A and B are shown apart, each in its own frame.
Chain A
Amino acid sequence: MMQKEEINELLQKKQAGNCTPEEINFLESWYAQWNKDLPLSLTEEELFEDLFIIKKMTSTLPAERKFSTLSQKLLIAASLLVMISVGLYFYLHSQRTDYNLALHDIQPGSNKATVTLANGQKYDLKNLTSGVVVDKSGLEYNDGTAINGIGSTEIAAQQLVLATPRGGQYQITLADGTKVWLNAASSLKFLSSFAGQKERRVELTGEAYFEVIHNAKQPFRVISTGQIAEDLGTSFNINCYTDEPLSKTTLVEGSMQIQSLKNTQNVKTVVLKPSQQVSIDAEGTITSRLVNTAETLGWKNDNFIFDGEDLNSSMRKIARWYNVDVVYEPGLKVASTPVLDGLVSRKSKLSEVLKWIETVSGVRFKIEGRRVTVMQ
């Protein structure tokens, strides 16, 4: 019988690389059958947690290690010194940022919008209700209460504009029953009644999610930067902010088609399948890919969902919702800035969102007034 000491000695030899070929044959053959048929004794939650931790540990690239002809001891001493100063720097730095973040905190966005009538008169909408409804009696809040100053006669058969500021969102049910959720800094132009119209035509800037009541006899069309989207029985999201490089339309359910308006010589129409996202760039070039619609609709469910999203694009979302300006510290290497993965509630205060990003990435933040600085 092999003794414990003997096994130990064999393993030491293996580590030191001093095993004979026979010993290696023995150890590796043992390894090949060791616990081979054991079921995995991890719960799903444990496995998920472990993979998540490994991912976060490995997400930053390890530093290069190169030894020159210098004495290694000296090198280690020098690197220790660097480590101490870097550590100290980050320690003091993190203290300072934390202090700043908490001190100058900013509340999240909320239900805020205005409605503008054809005569230019503008009304602020209550933030206690989440939306408005257009019906025969005019425009009213979705809890059935009247909007002060707007009667049915004022809005009869005319063009209205519902607009949200930065830091606002609102929902509207149009005259045909179609529901539209407007994200921050967005606007929707629509008719108070579609009766007698060939089509139901609305115009969008910013971002909105549509749940269209389908009516083949009176198609629903959304005009936005460079494109017309037409419902064929549909729920879809359009993101066409002017500060975004691409205008993105994502089909959630049903069917729809997109027509690019930029390329007038060669008018292109694309029919989307559920989960398909069509992007149109400034030149009118159309690209399409399959996406996770949960991510696209994160905002509507009060979440920021980042699926491998780069920092710049994530910060644009944050800027619109918290009504802040984002600036990058000079010299910050944007190309090497991290890609974000995960979910954080849009109901959180700004400091909580920024702290989350600090935890999962390498950057730090400073809040001064309504300005957020991204720092290394």
Chain B
Amino acid sequence: MPYKRYNDQELTALLKSGDQLAYAEIYHRYHATLYIHAFKRLQLREECRDLVHELFTTLWIKRAEITFKSTLSGYLYTSVRNKIFDFLAKQKLKKTYIQSIQDFAENGLVTADYLVRQNQLKAIIDQEIANLPPRTRQIFELSRKNFLSHQEIAKVLNLSEQTVKTTINNALKVLRTRLGSMFFLSL
């Protein structure tokens, strides 16, 4: 798989030219990082899954218009933050979110420089991945390699293959329900 050898900059150039494999490689590199980041903020599984899915959908559809001002990761991290802000604006705010903003308004330190904030965001996300417990970290690594065989996962999670199969079947059920309701909406 030569795409694994491309760096982010090369991948963005290929993506812009409509290369589907470049899109797939970007996806493999970043989906787990973005999901973990979003989940730590919102603590909502389904909403964060949808959010990451939407983010990648937008990346593909708008690939020609997007200007990657800094790096690919910079773009993706800013996108996930914007998506989370959008989510907050759309929902009835949870008490914990309000509390957090109120506390910050009282005691927080505002960083005025846009670039400093962007570097800050990257550092936070890197740290989040570095701090994962070892077993979770292994799942993260496997997801990036795009290889999740039942045996491999079972070994990492120290579970029976049957349990892994059940987990996958649950996931497929969730998907079917989603696709089912989408179908219903389209009618």
User: Which residues of A are interface residues toward B (Cβ below 8 A)?
Assistant: 1-2, 4, 7-8, 11-12, 14-15, 25-36, 38-42, 44-58, 61-62, 64-65, 80, 83-84, 87-88, 91, 292, 294-295, 305, 307-308, 341-343, 359-360
Contacts and interface: CB of A to CB of B under 8 A. Distances in A.
Interface in B130-187: 131-133, 135-136, 139-140, 143, 146-153, 156-157, 159, 163, 165, 167-168, 170-172, 174-176, 178, 183, 186-187
B89 A7 contact: no
B185 to A, nearest CB: 9
A35 B48 CA distance: 15
27 contacts: A1-B106, A7-B93, A11-B85, A11-B89, A14-B85, A27-B85, A28-B117, A31-B84, A32-B111, A33-B104, A33-B108, A35-B100, A40-B39, A41-B43, A48-B153, A50-B48, A51-B31, A51-B139, A53-B175, A58-B27, A62-B61, A84-B186, A84-B187, A87-B187, A292-B149, A294-B149, A307-B147
A44 B60 contact: no
Nearest to B132: A40
Contacts of B111: 25, 28-29, 32
A57 B89 contact: no
Contacts of A295: 149
Nearest to B179: A57
Contacts of A58: 27, 31, 52-53, 56-57
B120 to A, nearest CB: 5
Contacts of A40: 36, 39-40, 128, 132-133, 136
Given A34-B100, A35-B41, A65-B61, A80 B168 contact: no
Contacts of B48: 50
Given A25-B110, A58-B27, A2 B174 contact: no
B147 A292 contact: yes
B16 interface: no
Interface class of chain A by DSSP: helix
Given A29-B108, A51-B143, A87-B186, A61 B20 contact: yes
A15 B89 contact: yes
Given A29-B109, A51-B31, A87 B49 contact: no
B14 interface: no
Given A52-B171, A61-B20, A341-B148, A29 B85 contact: no
B76 to A, nearest CB: 14
A32 B52 contact: no
A333 to B, nearest CB: 13
A295 B148 CA distance: 11
Interface string B91-117: 001000010111011101111100001
Given A30-B100, A30-B101, A294-B152, A54 B35 contact: yes
Given A11-B85, A51-B139, A54-B53, A1 B102 contact: yes
Which 10 residue pairs across A and B have the least CB separation, nearest first?
A: A15-B89, A83-B186, A11-B89, A62-B57, A30-B104, A343-B150, A29-B110, A2-B105, A57-B53, A294-B151
Given A84-B187, A305-B150, A343-B149, 14 more contacts: A7-B102, A11-B93, A15-B89, A32-B124, A35-B100, A42-B45, A44-B135, A44-B136, A47-B140, A48-B153, A48-B167, A53-B174, A61-B23, A341-B146
A359 B178 CA distance: 13
Contacts of A46: 45
B58 to A, nearest CB: 8
Contacts of B29: none
